[in-house]
Amino acid sequence: VPTRLTVAPVLPDEVFTLNAAYFADTYPQKVSLGVGVYRTDDGKPWPLPVVRKAEKELAEDDDLMRHEYTAIEGDIAFLPLAQDLMFGFTGQQGEEEAKARIATVQTVAGTGANHLGALFLAHHMKPPTVWLSNPSWANHMTIWELAGVPRKTYPYYHAATRSFDFDGMMSTLESETQEGDVVLLHACAHNPTGLDPSKEQWIAIADLCERKKLFPFFDSAYQGFASGSVEEDAWAVRYFFNNKPDMEMCVAQSFSKNFGLYGQRVGAYHYVTNRNATAIRDVIVNNLCHLIRAEFSMGPRIGCSIVKKILTNDELVADWHRDLQVMSSRIQSMRHALYNELVRLKTPGTWEHIIEQNGMFSYTGLTPKQVYALKDKYHVYLLKSGRASISGLSQKNVAYVAQAIDDVVR
Ligand code: PMP
């Protein structure tokens, strides 16, 4: 009986395919620089010590509700904590007015927040175009394609100088966008390039969005993980929020990297109304709930409970900040180690960009052919674009990786 389906093969996801190839590889010195997950210097996963502490406390709680359904918008006590973390509320008087602008729901991690946001805007704002950075996290393309919003890209990466193409971005957004377009912005630690705008550049981007009536969509997947400071990594989001009260925007917030809760799927989506439209906030939540109900009814509980436990206890918050420092500083030191090795080997080319870039990833500038040779000859795995996940480097393998890079670029 013939199938009634019409399905054509879609490209498999590169990151997950690469990871499977890495696991299947039996070569003892293999190195994974593919998937964006934190690893210790021994190449092991690192459940955050603060998370383990919170888990123990949770296990001892005699909480009969812990496996029950939540509300559709998620764990109600989690939502203001997610807001405080993202927007920097500290419980001071006078924050109520600002808070009244934000409609927040729990999502299935950062991916789910991106997806819910795209779907919500596609239904209720109907943007003519969504502008994604070139390059961007590959899943942005997929998410917006499935949401049915026409996609275009703005320049972001200047290959010759391996730097952020601020002028290219600004002139494209200035001349080619129209009112109501969505502009997708990485809040910090741009994936895949590791290149972020400076504060002055963020201010100019905010001004442009306001003047051209564009809708900023922030994707915040690395808050605290990139610099070690949750304030620093939220600077751009908070600047837009505090300084452009007449502009609307939204934020997809992930807790995957900064709490090491990858598979637990913890996230939030925040829609920020302009200051004169706070009356519709509850209707926005209500419409987000409509979309959530039809798709997954509510976000998962356990990861959220862990985050809640930590963010409501000053001692655990201090522990968490220390854990963020451990992760971000190890990544920084691996950037320097790789750079120093390449300089020592006099590897042809310039490598300063490795220490100048920020966050989990480095856009190495290696060509697809060189990337292939690294895998084939040295069992070093990174994305075809030359994106390397720096946390796959360690004291033990960095000399080997540098030697391998040196060989393939000569
Ligand atoms: N956005 C960006 C830019 C990312 O790099 C990631 C993680 N790879 C995500 C969103 C989503 O992560 P998650 O769904 O695991 O929270």
pLDDT at position 93, please? 86
pLDDT at position 37, please? 93
Kindly give the number of the ligand 1 atom that is closest to the alpha carbon of 36.
8
Output the residue whose Cα is nearest ligand 1's atom 1: 221
Amino acid letter, 314: D
pLDDT at position 201, please? 98
pLDDT tens track for 186-208: 999 999 999 999 999 999 999 99
Count of CB atoms situated within 10 Å of the CB of 3: 6
pLDDT at position 327, please? 96
Output the residue whose Cα is nearest ligand 1's atom 2: 221
- Its pTM surpasses 0.90: yes
Kindly give the number of the ligand 1 atom that is closest to the alpha carbon of 266.
16
Per-position pLDDT tens, the chain of length 410:
889 999 999 988 899 999 999 999 999 999 999 988 999 999 999 999 999 999 999 999 988 889 999 999 999 999 999 999 999 999 888 899 999 999 999 999 999 999 999 999 999 999 999 999 999 999 999 999 999 999 999 999 999 889 999 999 999 999 999 999 999 999 999 999 999 999 999 999 999 999 999 999 999 999 999 999 999 999 999 999 999 999 999 999 999 999 999 999 999 999 999 999 999 999 999 999 999 999 999 999 999 999 999 999 999 999 999 999 999 999 999 999 999 999 999 999 999 999 999 999 999 999 999 999 999 999 999 999 999 999 999 999 999 999 999 999 99
Kindly give the number of the ligand 1 atom that is closest to the alpha carbon of 112.
14
Output the residue whose Cα is nearest ligand 1's atom 12: 110
Q: What is the three-state SS of the chain?
A: CCCCCCCCCCCCCHHHHHHHHHHHCCCCCCEECCCCCCCCCCCCCCCCHHHHHHHHHHHHCCCCCCCCCCECCECCCHHHHHHHHHHCCCCCCCCHHHHCCEEEEEEEHHHHHHHHHHHHHHHHCCCCCEEEEECCCHHHHHHHHHHCCCEEEEECEECCCCEECHHHHHHHHHHHCCCCCEEEEECCCCCCCCCCCCHHHHHHHHHHHHHHCCEEEEEECCCCCCCCCHHHHCHHHHHHHHHCCCCCEEEEEECCCCCCCHHHCEEEEEEECCCCCHHHHHHHHHHHHHHHHHHCCCCCCHHHHHHHHHHCCHHHHHHHHHHHHHHHHHHHHHHHHHHHHHHHCCCCCCCHHHHHCCCCEEECCCCHHHHHHHHHHHCEECCCCCEEEHHHCCCCCHHHHHHHHHHHHC
CA of 224 to the centre of ligand 1 (A): 14
Of these residues, 219, 233, 319, 323, which one is catalytic? Answer: 219
How large is the ipTM?
0.99
- The set of residues, in sequence order, having a beta carbon less than 8 Å from that of 57 and lying 6+ positions away, is 309
pLDDT tens track for 261-307: 999 999 999 999 999 999 999 999 999 999 999 999 999 999 999 99
